[in-house]
Each structure stands twice: as structure tokens, then as C-alpha cells.
Amino acid sequence: MLESHSHKKFWAAIVILTLAAMAFLIATAWVSNELDETRSNLALVEAELEVKQTQLTDAEAELAAGEAELSTSKELIESLEATLSSLQVNYERLITGYGYVLRDPSYQEMKDFLAWDRISEHEYAPDEYTCVNFAADVKANAVRQGFRCAYVVIEYHGETGHAIIAFDTTDRGLVFVDPQLDWEVELQVGKRYYQCVVPPAGHYMTKPPYDDTISRIIVIW
């Protein structure tokens, strides 16, 4: 009788262990499936994140390019506005009877005018008194002296540009001048601006930290 009872307990234990093993296997399989699914979702999220990061980088690059183009456009607009203002003053004087007939100076007359003019002594002030103002003011003074003077817009390959002046001298032809220095400039597209400046003896033009390679020259009379 005791042996039969022990035999029943043994098989009951076997059944319990079998059920426990099956439950463990089922749980393990479920956890494994969940883990695989989680890994798959993680891979998808990482891939999507990489795509978004690439899109963000592209957007930032486009924004930087747009800001650079906007900056160049603003400088060009300022240059043209200064030129328009100078031309309007000259035009108004001509039509009111106070005006005069502008003429091209000789090379020496140009040199004498630049020596007399004091605009180059002004201090450069970002956003307040820049190359645009130097060029416009010297042009206006030249007009007051009866000389024809051009406003010259220089566009660089980089994000900036420059403004200078020019005289079509009667004996040496077109002469470009940087009004901030009163130094002559031999402009050439594709060449860096600082290398085009012709400093007087004992002086030199320093290399700027930005790209001043000339891409376009606009002469406005």
C-alpha cells in the first residue's frame, strides 16, 4: 500500500516538472520573440534617426547657403542705393540750373583730387560706415568738383563683396581706386582683391582671412 502511494507521488512530480518545463519553454520562446521584435523596432528607429539626421544636416547646409546669399544681396542693395542717392543729387542739381557739365579728369587731376579729398581719413565702422559709404562719399565729392567718377561694385566668390571708385582719365584710361586708402587697384576677375591693390612705396596690402577672389565687377557711372 505504501509502495503504491509513493509510486503515485512520483508520477505526480513528473507531471508537475513536465508542466513546469513546458511553461518555461513557452515563456522563453515568448521572451525571445519579444526580444527579436524589440531589436527589429530598434533597428528601424535607428535607421529612421539616421535619415532624419541626414535631412537635418542638408537643411542646415541649405540654410547656411541661403543666409550667405542673403548677406551678399543686402550688400549689393546697399551699394546700389548709395549709387542711386548720389546720382539723384547730381541730377537734381543739373535740372535746377546749379548744375555743371561733368568731365573726365587727367591722371594728375585725379591724383590732386584724391590728395585734397579727406574721406579716406574716416574710420571704418561695421554696419555704420563701410566701403559703400567711402565709395559713395568720394564719388559725391568728385561730382562737386566737376569730375565724372564711377561707383564700382566688386563681388567675391565668398560671402562678401567690396565697393570702390573709378575715373576714366583722359591720358591713362580707366583707373580704379580704393577710397578707403586712396590706392590704385588693377582689378582682374579670378584674382584675389588684395593682390590687385597697388600700394605706394613702403606700404603693403595684408591678406584678409576670407576669400576675396573677384567673381564679378560692376562699373556704374
- Residue 118: predicted pLDDT: 94
Q: How many helices (H) and strands (E) does the chain have?
A: 4, 6
- Selection from 160, 167, 188, 137 nearest residue 76 by Cα: 160
Mean pLDDT by 10 residues, the chain (221 residues): 60 71 69 73 78 83 78 78 75 56 94 96 92 96 95 90 97 98 96 96 92 95 92
- Residue 143: predicted pLDDT: 94
Sketch the domain layout of the chain as residue ranges: 87-220
Fold classification of 87-220 (topology level): Beta Polymerase; domain 2 (3.30.460)
- Residue 54: predicted pLDDT: 84
> How far apart are the C-alpha atoms of 124 and 122, rounded to whole Å?
7
State the DSSP code for 208: P
> How far apart are the C-alpha atoms of 77 and 101, rounded to whole Å?
28
Altogether, the residues listed in the chain come to a count of 221
Task: Convert the pLDDT of each residue in 81-109 to its tens digit.
Answer: 877 777 777 666 665 554 457 999 999 99
Q: Which amino acid is at 64?
A: A
- Residue 79: predicted pLDDT: 77
